[in-house]
Structure 1
Amino acid sequence: MERDAIDAFKTYLIGERRSRYTIRSYISMVREFLEFLGRKEIAVDEEDIERYKEFLAVEKGYSKASQRLALNAVKAFLKSQRKSVPDNLRPPRGSHRVPKYLTAEEAKALLEAASGDVKASAMVSLFLYTGLRVSELCNLNISDVNLREGIITVRSGKGDKDRIVIMNERCASAVSDYLNMRKAIESKSRALFLSRKRSRYDTSSVERIIRNLARRAGIEKKVTPHVLRHTFATTMLMNGADIRFIQQLLGHSSIATTEIYTHINERALKEMYMKYEPRY
């Protein structure tokens, strides 16, 4: 019965146009939830949810973000099974933290570390100059790149929305160099970035590439594709870009999501003040 329920849940998520990464994560979390329940009956009550919340926080030691993912997965699963959703099935509120980002010197060092590899250089350039999500980069096809116009079309990004991102001259040059190599590779895949197996990259492989490059560049911070996305947005804001313009480039559905970067700007102002404060 569990297998049938999982298969039905997967079909439901596909119908909801969820990304393949969300589908994979939700199914994994729901399998864990069903194992936690330890019974064939799927219907749950508030007591079950309270026990599950305690299980996630105490026994599994999940962060708030992971707890939100698990509870959202269970909520979607119950809906797919047309079961009632208990009132207490609400994820914990997220912590409002200032996003981590690279300094201009660190970003330059990362670009230089990638310069000897045309594929890595194209990846890093796209993250730092366009603010792409790692899943969006993995989903890019060759046909999505328009070098003449200096744009890339992101298809079915987060929230199943298409959008345009802009490449500056340096980014377009790095992508062009990689495309010349990519087009010489015989493959049935339409993917822009191909792994050694000549297949589309998954997100974990790209994250590993960025992590290794950061280590080679001598950057002590934990560097991920999302940190590079934050770096792009932070730099744009510090250079005077309008926050609604940044919202469009990042593909945020709400301006409230983009406003996390205003806190960074305030911190930058304070750092600048401390550097140049009057010393009488």
Structure 2
Amino acid sequence: MTKQNEEKIISEVIDDSNHELNLKGADLLIHTKKLPQRLHRLAFLPWYECWTQQLKTEKKSEHTIRSYVVAAKTFTTTTLPNEEILSWDEIKEIQVSELFNRSNPNNGRVDAWLNTIGDLRPATINARIAAITHLLKWMGYAIPEWIQRPARSRSLPRTLGKNDLQKVRLAAIRSEDPIAFPIITMMLDTGLRCSEICNLDLDDVDLEDLSALVIGGKGEKDRTVLFTNATLDALDAWRPIRNARLKNCIREED
């Protein structure tokens, strides 16, 4: 089929979607009118090359593209009852107009495909659905609203054991910077976040009450945290070093 014939078919189908043509591929072009305008010129081209090029144009990472391709492979090769079984290599060569018909969310293929990925991890299922959502949107469809994405199960954070805590404290003691030990000790004592302890001022620390006022913590909320004598001893050991550093800074400025 020449390029002129292709353009003629597309033009006639757009003008009259019920017009019957005897040329090869005419049946596929009956629905070309429903294709997004941007896909009219791609109607006779292999969909796979066009779609992957679109992903690259959107500057998707190589990892994301590989993930999307895996999802597209499982989706497009899913076979409906009484439908011819096509290999992935054959699927990649079909035209955009044919994939438009094949990927119609209302023909049951989405449902059948979801059944095949039901045993995967929730995060993987969500990634596959995101990929097919992109493919369907590119084809001019929308992912059906009835599709429910599984909730991601959040595992509890791993807590440090006794040996781990000893290793952390030992590493802080051996650090070249003496401020490492009071910081690590206070973080382990209070559960302060890195940003919170960096913004902590000595004026906010009550050494008699063994507490510290955190201003503008998570959620921009203020709170009071308590610490033990271990933090108090570490701060007392750090204080003369801090004072010496301040004096050196003043001398350098003068």
Both proteins in one fold, TM over 0.5:
no
TM-score, scaled to structure 2: 0.37
Structure with the greater alpha carbon radius of gyration: 2
Ranked by relative contact order (alpha carbons within 8 Å, sequence separation 6 or more), the top structure is 1
